[in-house]
């Protein structure tokens, strides 16, 4: 029924409005008192568990950062069958993000362009909410993704990240340093090694025992991916998340006028699949076997999740296909993995 509902209703709504509508329903799932029933329906039937980062993931498939920016729907997303939920990106200073419209569907490509701009209520405001989630029974693994506040200069970025780290690392099952969104001025420049190394060193020292990962862009060259992977291992990070959205607009099916009208922003969804898989393989060829690599970008089906796992991903995340697949997407992935692995 969902494809029909999407075609007749959701695609006629502003994409951000449609997201908020769906998000509200997911957020309220725990309040209905049927979480355990829903979870039995969506969870894997066989053992798909993954042990990584000192944690146990019931399913290797989780929600990428960006869907739940402030950590309001973690429990509901867990009910839907996701093994982990990465909230954020959260910033030290609350910010409204970029002006609307800032989210655009490319339906022919099963893709989205966004220039949200890290809209969130700030790290401090998220603390009470994430504390309650941390204490909830049966919750999914909780990742927290942090980024640079827009008003903070690149030269002061480390101090800005450290504010978020001190507040959020104690509440995270794992913490992610996001230096790869294209929608915050100067942020991707932090991927340059002379800036990245001191930033990650400082955040790691502040995060204590919380596993620390870095999220990188797909638009890096292969050589840059290799160097950052080597740096992450050298600094003692626990993992890499690859990849964020892309600035590329190549090989799209959507007509050029529609793409041009959408304007600037990061592209996510199916067109990113090949590059994301290629970056995964580059990273896995460099890092040790025990090093956690979370693959995200263009994942839609259980077969694609299985392909990422076979290529060396420890875990896999998705987001954009959620908009096209609907609320039972994680169940479809889990059931598909049951079948494939059997």
Catalytic positions are 181
CA dihedral sign, ordered 43, 336, 329, 246: positive
Q: Are 101 and 52 in contact (CB under 8 A)?
A: no
Q: Strands, DSSP E only, in the chain? A: 50-52, 55-57, 61-63, 84-91, 103-106, 111-114, 141-147, 174-178, 212-216, 239-242, 266-269, 292-296, 315-318
Tell me which residue of 326, 322, 327, 320 sits closest to 104, measured CA to CA: 320
Check whether the bond before 44 is cis (ω within 30° of 0).
no
Q: Strands, DSSP E only, in 217-287? A: 239-242, 266-269
The Cα 320–Cα 265 span in angstroms is 14
Tell me which residue of 161, 99, 180, 85 sits closest to 129, measured CA to CA: 85
């Amino acid at each position: 029924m969902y494809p029909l509902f999407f075609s007749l209703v959701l695609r006629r709504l502003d994409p951000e409005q449609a997201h908020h509508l769906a998000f509200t329903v997911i957020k309220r799932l725990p309040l209905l008192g049927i979480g355990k029933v829903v979870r039995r329906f969506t969870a894997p039937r066989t053992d798909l568990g993954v042990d990584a980062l000192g944690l146990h993931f019931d399913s290797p498939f989780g929600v990428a950062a960006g869907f739940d920016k402030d950590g309001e729907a973690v429990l509901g997303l867990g009910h839907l069958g996701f093994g982990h939920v990465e909230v954020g990106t959260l910033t030290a200073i609350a910010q409204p993000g970029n002006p609307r419209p800032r989210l655009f569907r490319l339906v022919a490509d099963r893709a989205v362009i966004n220039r949200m701009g890290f809209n969130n209520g700030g790290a401090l405001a998220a603390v009470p909410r994430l504390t309650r989630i941390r204490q909830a029974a049966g919750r999914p693994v909780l990742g927290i993704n942090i980024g640079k506040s827009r008003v903070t200069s690149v030269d002061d970025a480390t101090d800005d990240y450290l504010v978020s780290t001190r507040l959020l690392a104690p509440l995270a099952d794992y913490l992610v340093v996001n230096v790869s969104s294209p929608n915050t001025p100067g942020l991707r420049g932090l991927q340059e090694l002379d800036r990245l190394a001191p930033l990650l060193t400082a955040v790691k020292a502040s995060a204590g025992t919380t596993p620390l990962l870095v999220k990188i862009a797909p638009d890096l060259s292969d050589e840059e991916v290799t160097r950052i992977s080597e740096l992450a291992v050298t600094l003692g990070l626990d993992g890499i998340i690859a990849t964020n959205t892309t600035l590329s607009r190549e090989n799209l099916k959507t007509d050029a006028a529609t793409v041009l009208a959408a304007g600037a922003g990061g592209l996510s969804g199916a067109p990113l699949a090949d590059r994301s898989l290629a970056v995964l393989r580059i990273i896995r060829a460099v890092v040790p076997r025990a090093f956690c690599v979370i693959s995200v970008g263009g994942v839609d089906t259980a077969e694609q999740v299985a392909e990422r796992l076979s290529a060396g991903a420890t875990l896999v995340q998705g987001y954009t296909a959620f908009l096209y697949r609907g609320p039972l997407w994680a169940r479809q992935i889990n059931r598909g993995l049951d079948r494939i692995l059997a």
